[in-house]
Amino acid sequence: FSGYHMLTVISSVLILQLDVVLLGPLAKDGLEAVAIYGVAALAVSMLRNPTRVIGIAATPSFSQHYQEGKIKELRTLFLRSSVNMQILGFAMFTLAYLNINSIQVLAGLVQSGYSQIKGIILILMIGQLADMITGLNYELIGVTKYYRFNFWIAIALLIIVFILNYFLIRHIGIYGAAWATSIGLVMFNRAKSIFLWRKFRMQPFQKSFWLILLAAGRSWLVAWSLPYLANVWVELVRRSALMILVF
C-alpha cells in the first residue's frame, strides 16, 4: 500500500516537472525559455497549496467512512470538499485572469524578456483549475481498495505528457510545454472522475458548481469594469480586493 502511494506521488511529480525538464533541450531558445517558464510555473504551483491543505484535512475522514462502510456519508463529504475546492479554484483563476496584465508588468520590472509569461500562466491555470474543480478524487481513490488505480493512471499519463511535450515544444516552443501540462492534468482528472463514478457513483459536480461559476464571472466583470490607473501596485490591490469582496 505504501509502496504504491510512494510511486504514485513520484509519477505525479514527474508529470508536473516534465515540461521544465524537456523545455531546455527541445526549445529553440533553450535555457532562456526555462528561465521564463520557471517563473510562470512557480506562480501557478503556489496556487496548489490550498489543494494540499484540504486534501490532508479530508483524507482521514475519507478513510474512516470507507472502512466503516458509510458510503452515503463518504459521498456527502466528497461533495462538500468538492464545493470548497471549486470555490478556491474559480477564485484563483479569476484573480489570475483579472490581474494578468499587471503580473506581466511586474515580471518585466524584475527582468526584461518576460513578454510570454502572460500566456503561459493562463494556459497553466487551465490545468490547475481542472485539477481543483474535480475535487479530491486522488485522495478518495487512494483510501479505497482501488488505490492501485492512481498509480497506473499516473504512469499512463506520464507517457502521454512526455509525448505531448516532445512534439508541442518542438512545434510551438514554450507554449507547447504549458499546453502539454494542462492537457495532461485535464486528462488525469477526467480519468479519475470517470473511475469514481463507475465504482462509487460519485461525481464532484452539482447545482452549486454553476452558482460558483456565475459568482466568479460576475465578480470578474465588476472588477474588470474599473478604470485603469497608472500605478500597477495600486491597480493590482484594488482590483483583487473588489473581486474577492464581490465573489
90-147: pLDDT as tens digits: 998 998 888 888 888 777 766 666 777 888 888 999 988 998 999 888 889 988 899 8
- CB-based contact 178:40 (threshold 8 Å): yes
According to DSSP H, which parts of 111-204 are helical? Answer: 117-133, 137-142, 148-172, 174-200
Tell me the DSSP string of 66-125: HHTT-HHHHHHHHHHHHHHHHHHHHHHHHHHHHTHHHHHHHHHHH-S--TTHHHHHHHHH
20-64: pLDDT as tens digits: 888 878 877 777 788 788 878 877 877 777 777 888 888 899 999
pTM of the model: 0.85
Residue 68 has phi, psi (to 5 degrees) of -90, 0
